[in-house]
Amino acid sequence: MKRIALMFFLIFVLMGCSNHEEIPNENKRLKEESESSLKKMNEENREQALRESLNLTFKLLSAMGDKDYDFIESNSSTSVKVSREQNMIIVNNGENFYEWLFKAKWNWEIWNSGDMN
């Protein structure tokens, strides 16, 4: 009876040792999978943010051409002023000062050809 109990005890101990080696490998695999999915999620978020920024840029350029001052003001930061009288955007962030005149309409064909003069 003691031999059987000793045998079960040794088997139990040996099984515990073999599982102990698999746990770090499993943890390492899970950690790699979670880092990979986090990296993929960050790339997707970055692409989505870039897509939204570009879409907003084109909407703002179109609003400038249409003189849609309300849309421009609603999407501008506090350092941006819209001058309806002078038809321009004025940016003053404390260190730099910029003025941007509205164009009547943007000619996208010129932008595609590379001749922007």
**Is 24 contained in some domain?**
yes
Over the chain, what is the mean pLDDT? 76
Q: What is the pLDDT of residues 39-51, one digit of tens each?
A: 877 888 888 888 8
What residue numbers bound the domain in which 24 lies?
2-67+102-113
Question: Is the distance from CB of 89 to CB of 97 less than 8 angstroms?
Answer: no
Instruction: Say whether pLDDT at 80 is over 60.
Output: yes
Decide if pLDDT at 117 tops 60.
no
- How far from 45 is each of 42, 48, 102, CA to CA, in Å? 5, 5, 32
Note the pLDDT tens digit of each residue in 84-98: 888 888 888 888 888
Structure tokens at 63: 């609003």
In the structure encoding, which two tokens stand for residue 100, read together? 């941007």
Domain count, the chain: 1
Whether residue 45 is contained in a domain is answered as: yes
Q: Count CB-CB contacts under 10 A for residue 93.
A: 11
Tell whether 16 is covered by a domain. yes
Instruction: Give the pLDDT confidence score for residue 113 in this predicted structure.
Output: 55
The pair of structure tokens assigned to 70 is 């309300």
